[in-house]
Amino acid sequence: MVNGEAETQWTRASLLGRYEIGRTLGEGNFGKVKYARHRATGGHFAIKILDRNKILSQHIDDQIRREIGTLKLLKHPNVVRLHEVAASKTKIYMVLEFVNGGELFDKIAIRGKLSEQEGRRLFQQLIDGVSYCHDKGVYHRDLKPENVLVDRRGNIKISDFGLSALPQHLGNDGLLHTTCGSPNYIAPEVLQNRGYDGSLSDIWSCGVILYVMLVGYLPFDDRNLVVLYQKIFKSDCQIPKWLSPSAQDLLRRILEPNPMKRINMSGIKEHEWFRKDYVPAVPYDDDEDILPGSILPIKEQIEEPPRAKPTHINAFQLIGMASSLDLSGFFEEEDVAQRKIRFPSTHSPMDLFDKIEDVVTEMGFQVQRGPSKLKVMKKFKTSKNPKNPSSFLVSTEVFELGPSLYVVELKKAHGDSTLYRQLCEKLSDEFGMCTAEQIPRTGSVDDDLSSFDSEESLSSF
C-alpha cells in the first residue's frame, strides 16, 4: 500500500502513460485534482480524477457531461483549456490547463479591492472570455470570482462549466428556463422562472464581479434569501461616488434589473471605461493545438515528410478510444459519429494517406500533409455571403497500436455536417472501414482493456 505522503513523491509515475502525477491541488465530493507533469516536455497540467460511481449515485452525470462537452468546444486564452479526457470503469480523467495563481476571489480577499486600472484589465479579459463563449453558443450561468482563476502572469481563466447551457438547452421560445447559479451573482430574470437570455444573465454576473473587484464587497448581500432576492429584483445597491464617473455609469448599465434595458456585450466593449488600454484577446484557431508546456498556440508545420511517422498510442489514449470505455456514449449530447470516426488498418500510414488523398482530391477537396496528420479542406462561396467563403476542414491522424496495426481517426474541425457525412461515406466505400464502436473483439487490445478496473491498474500498462 502507498500512504498519502508517498503519493506526493511521484508514486504513480506511470499513471496515464505520459504524465507523472504529483501533489493534490484540490479535493471535492467526487474526486481530486492532481498536479501532473508531462513526461516528454515537462509541461504542467492539472488532472481532475473523478469517481464514476459517486457521480452516478449522486445523479450529477449530466453536470459532468455538460462540463466536458462544453470545454471541448472552447479554445480561448481566458478560458481554462481541456486537453484530454479518458476513463477507466471507475474513474474519469480530465487533463486541464494548470493555472497556478489561485482564484480571483482570493486575490480580491487579500487586496480588499483592486484599482480601477487593474480591475479594468481583468474585466476586459473576463468579457473577452465570456463573449467568446456566447459566440460558441455557451452560457456559463455560474460566473463568480470563485470560478475565475488567475495565472502567474495575472491573467484570468474562466472555469467550472458544470452549470453551463448549450443551444440544445434552449426552449421553444429561444430562452433558457433552468434556475441555477450562485445567489449573490444570479440575475433577477433567472429568479422569475419565465425564461431568460443566457447572454444577458451572464452579463449581470460579470457586473457583480466587476463591482466586487472595484468596491471590495458584494453589491447585493443578505443572510435571508428572500431579502437578498428582493434587493436583486430592485437592483438595490449603492455605487460609491469615489469611483470614476465612467465606471459608475458602466456598473449602472450592467446592473439594470430589466434585461431588455441592460447593456449587451457590444455595448460593454464600446463603453469608454472598458475601451481604455483595451487589447482584444485572440482565440485559438479550431485546428490549432496547445502543445504541452507552451503558452501560445503553435501551428503544425505543413511540410511533406520523407515518411509519414505515426504517433504511438499509449494507455491513456487507448482507454479513451476503447469501445467499452469510450466517454462518448456516457457524456456527449451529440452523435459522435457525426464528428469523428476511427477505423483499424494494417496498411502503412504512407499508404493510408496516399489513398485518402487520392479519394478526397477526386471529390474536389484540397489536402495538406504533415508528419502524421493529413488535413482535408475546402472553401466555397454561398449565396447568402459571397464575400466571405465558408470553409470545411477535416483532420486525419494515424496512431500506431503495435507492429503493423494502426488506428486512423477522421475528425471534423468545422464545416457542413452533410458534406462531412458524404466524405465519410465515400471513404467507407473505398476502405470498407468500420468505426471504433464496430471494431471486433479480436486479440490482445480488448483483452488488455478489460483489466482497467481501477486507477491503480493503469500503472501496469
pLDDT in tens, 142-193: 999 999 999 888 999 999 888 888 888 888 888 988 888 899 999 999 998 8
Q: How far apart are CA 244 and CA 111, in angstroms?
A: 20
pLDDT confidence of residue 156: 94
Cβ(196)–Cβ(259) under 8 Å? Answer: yes
Confidence of residue 354 (pLDDT cuts 50, 70, 90): confident
Q: Which residue has the cell 436583486?
A: 232
The verdict on pTM exceeding 0.85 is: no
Name the residue with cell 471535492: 28
The Cα–Cα gap between 288 and 413 comes to 10
CB 314 within 8 A of CB 321: no
Q: At what angle do helices 104-111 and 198-215 cross, to 10 degrees?
A: 30
Any idea which of 137-141, 197-201, 345-349 has the lowest mean pLDDT? 345-349
| Cell representation of residue 153 | 502572469
| pLDDT tens readout for residues 84-93 | 888 777 888 8
Neighbours of 457 (CB within 10 A): 14
Instruction: Label each residue of the chain as H, E or C.
Output: CCCHHHHCCCCCCCCCCCEEEEEEEEEECCEEEEEEEECCCCCEEEEEEEEHHHHHHCCCHHHHHHHHHHHCCCCCCCECCEEEEEECCCEEEEEEECCCCCEHHHHHHHHCCCCHHHHHHHHHHHHHHHHHHHHCCCECCCCCHHHEEECCCCCEEECCCCCCECHHHCCCCCCECCCCCCHHHCCHHHHCCCCECHHHHHHHHHHHHHHHHHHCCCCCCCCCHHHHHHHHHHCCCCCCCCCCHHHHHHHHHHCCCCCCCCCCHHHHHHCHHHHCCCCCCCCCCCCCECCCCCCCCECCCCCCCCCCCCEECCHHHHHHHCCCCCCHHHHCCCCHHHCEEEEEECCCHHHHHHHHHHHHHHCCCEEEECCCEEEEEEEECCCCCCCCCEEEEEEEEEEEEECCEEEEEEEEEECCHHHHHHHHHHHHHHHCCCCHHHCCCCCHHHHHHCCCCCCHHHHHC
The Cα–Cα gap between 118 and 214 comes to: 9
Who contacts 110 (Cβ-Cβ below 8 Å, separation ≥6)? none
Query: Which of 119-123, 217-221, 395-399, 457-461 has the lowest average pLDDT?
Result: 457-461
Active-site residues, by number, are: 142
Q: What is the pLDDT of residue 93?
A: 87
- Among candidates 342, 318, 346, which has minimal Cα distance to 405? 346
Longest C-alpha distance within the chain, in Å? 74
pLDDT digits (tens, 9 = 90+) for 374-397: 788 876 665 555 555 556 677 787
pLDDT surpasses 90 at 261:
yes
Give the domains, in start order, of the chain with CATH numbers.
Answer: 9-97 (3.30.200.20), 104-275 (1.10.510.10), 311-454 (3.30.310.80)
Q: Is the pLDDT of residue 211 over 90?
A: yes
Give me the percent of the chain exceeding a pLDDT of 70.
Answer: 71
What are the CA-CA distances from residue 425 to residues 362, 367, 430, 434 (Å)?
Answer: 14, 18, 9, 11
Question: Is residue 262 scored above 90 in pLDDT?
Answer: yes
Which pLDDT score is estimated for 346? 73
- By mean pLDDT, which of 301-305, 318-322, 406-410 is the weakest? 301-305
